[in-house]
Amino acid sequence: MTPAPLAARLHAPSGPLFFPVTAYGTGGSVDLDVYRTHVRRGVDAGAAAVFACCGTGEFHALLPEEFEACVRVAVKAADGRVPVVAGAGYGTALAVRYARLAREAGADGLLAMPPYLVVAGQEGLLRHYRAMAAAADLPVIVYQRDNAVFTPSTVVELARTDGIIGFKDGLGDLDLMQRVVSAVRTEVPGDFLYFNGLPTAELTQLAYRALGITLYSSAVFCFAPGIALAFHRALESGDEAIAHRLLDGFYRPFAELRALGRGYAVALVKAGVRLRGLDVGEVRPPLQEPAEDHVEQLARLIERGYALLEEGA
């Protein structure tokens, strides 16, 4: 783990947040060499942080020993240049186990994903994430989505919890997020981090920035880092012309393509990485590979995205 606090390193990111896919080789086993290359290329390209073994990295499909090995490789590949945050989830006991594995592997923090299957009340969710934070001894970012949806008052209690430093939104309810931000700002002193965690977050990031939320996931960075970096720079500099050109010509069509298949938020991204020359293998079941014509559309769309950058140069 790096000595600088994770919150400080994420507060003003120099580039997109990188969520690498997990590479599989012959027979479907984890290919740590290819994974190392994937992570290193992302860091070299300008990622501000590596979020290893999270949603895009198929956390749900990894055995504990595979998870620990991937996190350890990501930490070594990042080499202290950027922080490495590892996913953790399932029920409380398993989430704590994954959290401790991440700490042993050298991660700088955790992205705490929703508990498995159950729809819990607010008190139960609070107990779950507090248990993770206490056991892991790592900074925790809580991920709101699916069956883990929080009231503003619960997020206030999360923000008051030692070790919980941020809140990632994968729900997309801007009214709720405004109330969350307002409640925490009013009742909890100090900085608390917020992240836009929607699929293809760039598509909604202008709206999230209006709430003061500048951090966002970038799955596109996995396969088109130049496009993702250009969009990030446009947001930071206020260059609406470039931002709108990429939104209209690349991100909206990509989101529409992603919506054509279940699980494409992972499978289509992984296909994109393969299209750009790195064989990271296929997704593991229960996810399935994109249709061939959808992959062909993705290839054309990536070319279009880079052509848009040249038009604006």
Tokens of 262: 């279940």
Find the catalytic residue in 35, 129, 168, 216. 168
- Please name which of 180, 188, 165, 251 lies closest in space to residue 212, comparing C-alpha atoms: 180
* 116 labelled catalytic: no
* 143 labelled catalytic: yes
CA 164 to chain centre: 17
Find the catalytic residue in 143, 208, 216, 264. 143
Q: 138 — alpha (psi -120 to 50), left (phi > 0) or beta?
A: beta
158 contacts 164 by C-beta, under 8 angstroms: yes
Facing residues of 49 across strands?
17
How far apart, in whole angstroms, are the C-alpha atoms of residue 157 and residue 219?
30
How far apart, in whole angstroms, are the C-alpha atoms of residue 203 and residue 248?
9
What is the set of active-site residues?
143, 168
